[in-house]
Structure formats: structure tokens, C-alpha cells
Amino acid sequence: MQDITGKAVFGGIAIGPIHVYQKKAHEIRDTRVEDPEQEFARFEEAVEKAKEELQVLYDKAVSEVGEENAAVFEVHQMMLEDDDYLESVEGMIKDDSYNAEYAVRNTAEEFAEMFAAMDDEYMQARASDVRDVSSRVIKILSGAEETGISGDRPVILLAEDLAPSETVQLDKSKILSFVTRLGSANSHTSILARTMNIPALIGVDFPEGLEGKPGIVDGFSGTLIVEPDEAHLKHYQDLLLKEQERKKLLEELKGKENRTKGGREIKLFANIGSVKDVDSVINNDAGGIGLFRSEFLYLESSDFPTEEQQFKAYRTVAEKMEGKKVIIRTLDIGADKSCDYFGLDKEENPALGYRAIRICLDRQDIFKTQLRALYRAAAFGNIAIMFPMIISVDEVREIKKITEEVKASLKEEGTEYGEAELGIMVETPAAALLSDALAAEVDFFSIGTNDLTQYTLAIDRQNAKLDRFNDTHHPAVLKAIEMTVENGHNHGIWVGICGELAADTSLTDTFLKMGVDELSVSPSRVLSVREAVRNSDIY
């Protein structure tokens, strides 16, 4: 028996044979071409065919895993329309006379390295996307065949990494668990595992020669067990049975109140990153949207999204939620989540750099465009607006002045708009310490525990070497949360939590005792948090 540890990205137990997924490598030769124009035309034809294939994959993914997870193929199509990407390939072909396969591979590696170096897990995960879409173009250029997996029995799938196009082509009924050496919590494989409700591990340094061997994946402890003995097998079979029974019980919680045995109520909302995530919010019975990360409208675009594009996105979400609260965070972008068209400089410490509200207050044209779209969408639903990275009362007052200017402009034009609650994210120690003064200026607080923990403990949460010091239950963090809740209530405003800690059911009682009014979690965690609330004795 062999235990191999990694990082769990979705909990659960899987028991079955191991299958090692082998990718078919495409040999890329560095050759010079005699007719660069003809070679570039060959590349353009391959790009068009790749787009057609991606559309087929998108349609297949929608039917299997829903629009939310199929959206990655729309992103891939946009990557093939990115000017910087295309110009890089064109330059290598036309200026240097390289063959198309070589130009695509080198461009892919350059872009992938750029994404991987960013201080943001979502953007780091885009490195695999650019490699995936480029591999598709290279496959078309070289005339290679698609690879797949064979076999009839459901398996624990081991791989170096899995690209989105590979995962969507796999027979999902034959997969018990994903285990990869590489990847991240935001990789498509991880997202797909959460959608399929199957355990997944990343960062597992598994050895060669595991094909066909019996295995167990413990998605709670992050362990792959190879060739388990009878005692371990029996133990995990019992756990698997209990887990299956628990999932059925959680489904029965849909439509139930978020009320403790002692009568204390709390709102349970969901966090989303795009319009396509709304279906998951509704399917998991969340009471509203506690965090809509609007920056993804910018990250997925090759230029600043227009007022009309933003308005349509916000309106769609508001209407689909049918009157339930939708809290939209204004642009939270910076050197770690960078778009070329913003023209931001590279920073040594982007987490503490030029980002979020700092950019918006400097570049008010961008900010006002977003605010106009938000207020227009507010006429079609229950929208609240939330501002990130606040550190002072002066910032909030300046923001409020700008919002009044935007509303006055809309009124003067005769453009329909609605009113919206204004709130701030409490994610800096400064905001927590000033929460008494800040509460007098806004309608609500939403505590972003990811950054609040990082800044309070002076720990870079992207640095794996600091994992053992990164205590999310640190007394200083909990004290900052408690103080924020108390100060908010003293001024008659409601206080929620939208960071990862909101989904930590070991802290549910703690938050209820503090008087937290709302918890916003990923859609898949809504029912498990509801279960924790309903099992609590807090009055």
C-alpha cells in the first residue's frame, strides 16, 4: 500500500482502478519557410478550423456540464482573436520565416509564462488555457489525431494536467476522480470536478507504473492511496456510503430556511464570476448573489467593455435572480489581474499595488462607465454596488460624490436608472480599524476574508512556503471580523462575509455568535453551509 499526498480541490471519496491518461505529443520542428505569406495563410486557416471545433466543444459542454463551465471554450475562441497573440505568430512567420507550428508553440509558451507569473490564481490558470488552444491549432496544422481514453470501467483518472478540451471530451460516466500533478484550484479540471461533484486532487507527484492498480482518492485529506489493504478498503467503502447518503440529505435542504435550532436566521448568498454562473446559483438555492466579480468582463475582453456590454450583463443577472439581491463588486483589477489594454506597469508587490478602487478613482472615465451601466441595470432588479480595497473615509466620500454625478447625468439625459445600496468590502486592516467611521457612510459591509487574512498576517497567500503560517482562524483575523460586525450594527447597517471563510463550516457557529447577517459562498457550498446553520443551537 502506498499513500501519496497532494492538495484537495473538491472533497469526497472515490474507489476504483487507476487509469493514467497519456497525451499524444506533437513533434514541433524549427524550420524556415520559403513563402511566409502562404505559411501565414495556412495558420489563418488552422485558426478558423480551431474556432469551429471549439464551437462544437462548447455545444457539447453546455449539454453535459452547463453554460457556466462551457464558457471556457468561448474564452478559447477569444484567445484566437487576441491581437497580441495573432501579431506574435504573424511576426515570427512573416518577419523570421518560421513555420507556423513553431511560431504558435513559441507564442503559446511566451503567453503561458506571462500568465503563470501573475500573482492571482485565476490568471495563473489561464496559462493552461493558452497552451490548450495553441495545441489545438498545432494539431490541425500537423494533421494529428485527437487522443482519448479507452475502457468500460469507471476509473480514477491520473494525468500530468488536463486541458479543458481534453476534460470535455472524456466520458464523464467513466470518471470517479481527477488526480493531476499540475493544475490549480481554479483550473478547468478543478471546476469540472466541483460541477460533477467528484473528488479531485492536484499537486500529486505520483510515480510511474500505476496503470490498472486499485486506488482510493480521499478528497478530504488530499490523499491518493495505491493498492489499499483490506482494512483501508473497508474503511473507505463505509465513508463513501455515508458521503452518498449525505449528498441526498443536502438535496432535501433546498427550499428550507437558514435558521438555527435556536431561531437565529442568516442569509446565504453565492459568489459568481460571470453571467453564466447564475444558473448554478439558482440550482443550489442561494438566496441572492453576495459577490459578482465584475472584473471578469474586463479580463475576458480584448478592449474596455462598453457601457452597453456591461449594462446587458448586469441586467441579465438581475432579471434572472427575479428580485433577489445581486451585489456587484466594481472593477477589482491590477497588476496581478492585468489586461494589456489598461497599460499597467509591472509591480514588485501587486497585492499591495495599483489596483481596484485606486485605479477607478484615478481613471474616472472607466469608473463612470461602469457605474452608469450598474445604475441602468438597477432599474431591472435588486442590485447593490460594492467597492473593493477601501482604506479611508475620504475614498468613500469621493466615491459617493462620483455616484451622484453619474445619477445626475443619467437623469439629465432622460436615461432610466434605479437606486442601489452602496457598500464596501472590508478586506484591509485599515478598513476594519476604521469600520466605525466607515459604517456611517455606507449601507452595508462585506468582509473579504481572503485579503483580510493576507494583509493582517502579512502573508502572501500565493506563496506555498508560507502555508503552515497562514492560519485563517488566527485570533487577529477573527477579532477584525467581530469588530467590523459590531461597528456595522452600531450604525444600523448589515454585515456579510464573502471570502473563503464564509464556507468554513467549522466557523459557522462563531459567525452566528458574532451576529454576521449574511454569508456568501461558492454555489456548490450553499447547501452544506445551510446544513451547518440548521444544526446550530445559536440563539
Is pLDDT above 80 for 121? no
Catalytic residue, from 19, 76, 188, 360: name it.
Answer: 188
Residues 443/406, Cβ–Cβ less than 8 Å? no
The whole-number average pLDDT for the span 111-125 is 77
What lies within 8 Å, CB to CB, of 468 at 6+ separation is none
Per-residue pLDDT tens digits for 356-389: 999 999 999 999 999 999 999 999 999 999 999 9
The pLDDT of residue 374 = 98
Per-residue pLDDT tens digits for 422-463: 999 999 999 999 999 999 999 999 999 989 999 999 987 666
Per-residue pLDDT tens digits for 497-520: 998 899 999 999 999 999 999 999
Specify the amino acid at residue 49. K
Chain centroid, CA 230 distance in Å: 39
Residues 255/528, Cβ–Cβ less than 8 Å? no
Please state, for a pLDDT cut of 70, what percent of the chain lies above it: 91
The pLDDT of residue 86 = 93
More confident call, 421 vs 73? 421
Q: Domain-by-domain residue ranges, the chain? A: 2-23+147-230, 36-142, 267-534
Question: 496559462: which residue's cell?
Answer: 127
Question: Residue 37, exposed/middle/buried by CB under 10 A (0-12, 13-18, 19+)?
Answer: exposed
The whole-number average pLDDT for the span 294-315 is 89
Question: What number does CATH give the domain 36-142?
Answer: 1.10.274.10
Dist. CA 466–CA 233, nearest whole Å: 34
Phi then psi dihedrals of residue 32, to 5 deg: -105, 140
Residues 303/362, Cβ–Cβ less than 8 Å? no
Domain 2-23+147-230 fold: Glucose Oxidase; domain 1 (3.50.30)
Average pLDDT of the chain to the nearest whole number: 88
Per-residue pLDDT tens digits for 162-194: 776 676 667 777 889 989 988 766 566 676 676
How is residue 6 written as a grid cell? 497532494
The H or E element spanning position 406 is helix 393-413
Per-residue pLDDT tens digits for 126-144: 787 888 899 889 989 887 6
Dist. CA 334–CA 239, nearest whole Å: 44
- To the query of whether residue 489 is one of the catalytic residues in this protein, the response is no
Stated length of the chain: 539
Catalytic residue, from 19, 76, 360, 498: name it.
Answer: 498
| Residue 18 DSSP code | E
Residue of 131, 231, 218 whose CA lies nearest to 182: 131
Is pLDDT above 60 for 390? yes
Q: What is the pTM of this model?
A: 0.69
Chain centroid, CA 344 distance in Å: 22
Domain spanning 267-534: which CATH class is it, in words? alpha beta
- To the query of whether residue 360 is one of the catalytic residues in this protein, the response is no
Residues 183/191, Cβ–Cβ less than 8 Å? no
Dist. CA 237–CA 231, nearest whole Å: 10
Specify the amino acid at residue 128. S
